[in-house]
Chains A and B, each alone.
Chain A
Amino acid sequence: MCDWCEKYGDGYERWYFNPANYARRLYKIRKEEAVASGAEANPQAAGGMAFVGRDFIEARDRGDIAEVERIKQQTEGAMWLTHFGQVLTLEEAHKITDIMYPISLISCACRRSMEGLPDEENFTCMGMGPGMYKWERWPDTYRGGVHFLTPDEAKEVLSKLNKRGLVHSIYTFGTPYLGGLCNCDYPDCAAIRTVVDLEIKILWKGHYVAKIDPELCNGCASCIHRCQFRALSFNPSRNKAYIDQFQCFGCGLCATECDQEAITMVERASLPALANVW
């Protein structure tokens, strides 16, 4: 079972369907976060959101496995208490818009950092829960302002971003308080690139795993570009898409693109070898 559902699910099917996790005591993490995770003292100066510092990259470069493990565990431990995410399917993201309020469309800090995008082209991130009511305290985090959305508007925005190829995920701000519904891609999203490139689990895999039906797949390859996690490739020998299910993060972007319905999203818990692969 997913650790977070076990700890914070309280009888709900998923921890992020438990309304209590959107309404807990507001977080106080801004200061501690950077120090605890071993990133540069000013994470913004380190480039938006660097979760680890140069010491980690250097340890990896010289093959110092013990040091890599040490920093990795220290970073994960700190981030799991304060700020980490889990991948969602579009259906799950839609469902969340019905159980929490308010929800707002905001500019994306990661893409501001990595693309230098002007705010008006950068409304891809969502902030939610009572924490949003104090957004004016942090005008820099919310550059370009905040659009509060109705649940229906939020679903529409999520569907559009899904079409564009962005991965949905949910983030804590002082675990288990859930405050971010993010829509992201590799490598500009700090969380996706940290988990994919550095294998530090800032982002947990979701509750589903994609599975190909080789009988239904016609080899059109139109799903291949949708994967942001290096789990999906094309197999010329069989003329079919190939999914590495151990690498799949369960975002469902490939499945929503396949008009042959050759990809289904299977419950992770139903696959013994994958049930604990997060």
Chain B
Amino acid sequence: MIEIKHLTKVYKLNKKQMQELHTKNNKKTAVDDLSLTARPGEIYGLLGPNGAGKTTTLRCIATIIKPTKGEIYVAGHEVQKESEQVRRKIGFLTSDIKLDPQFSTDYMFDFFGRLHEVPEQKLKERKEELFTYFGIKEFAHKQIKELSTGMKQKAAIAVSLVHNPDIVIFDEPTNGLDIITARSVMDYLRKLKAEGKLVIVSTHIMSEAEKLCDRIGMIIDGKKAAEGTVEELLALTHTDDLEDAFFEIYKEVKGEE
């Protein structure tokens, strides 16, 4: 289970960032008092436009960055106090985490498997399963720098799942993938859910969220604007597709300002 309680994340901006954002304020609130709960056996989707705070939220869960305020519990472990236990439980994938381009997927898979203390036999089985599923075998021994974007993404997904984590956190996992690969990634996430794992993904693609997610949290300007199953969100906004629902909610939030 992932429980986020009143998470606020404020970035301190350096001079360059302040210039880029045309602001004199050296603080940027990326996530603002966000609370949510995601449970095992479901796919929870964070849906929101670019800059909404999705990646920041997921990076806080994955212990890469520390919450400014609030608490996050991952399988009962608090992210700041027991970050190592949290890292043991999760598989985390985001576009700004990359595999070393000098090595092969095969090497990286083994390397992270050992860091996660996966027994050798188990490691072989996992490799067989994941490499087969994502069609990695044929390029497993090529240097990662020689792979195409799609291949790299598949390799990154496989490596992030090497230790068979109970909690899977994927930040825009289908970004840059062709529709066939994107489909197979989504299918795999469903398979993980069927195995009883907790999957939390972020996306800005409405159709993907609509098809994939059991529950959706709509994030706008770092705040949770709405939450529920697709049906609940449609009923709430009296619309009949998620995109319309999102715009209703967006208008409401922006209108208040």
Interaction A to B: no
Q: Which residues of B contact A (CB under 8 A)?
A: none
Q: Which residues of A contact B (CB under 8 A)?
A: none
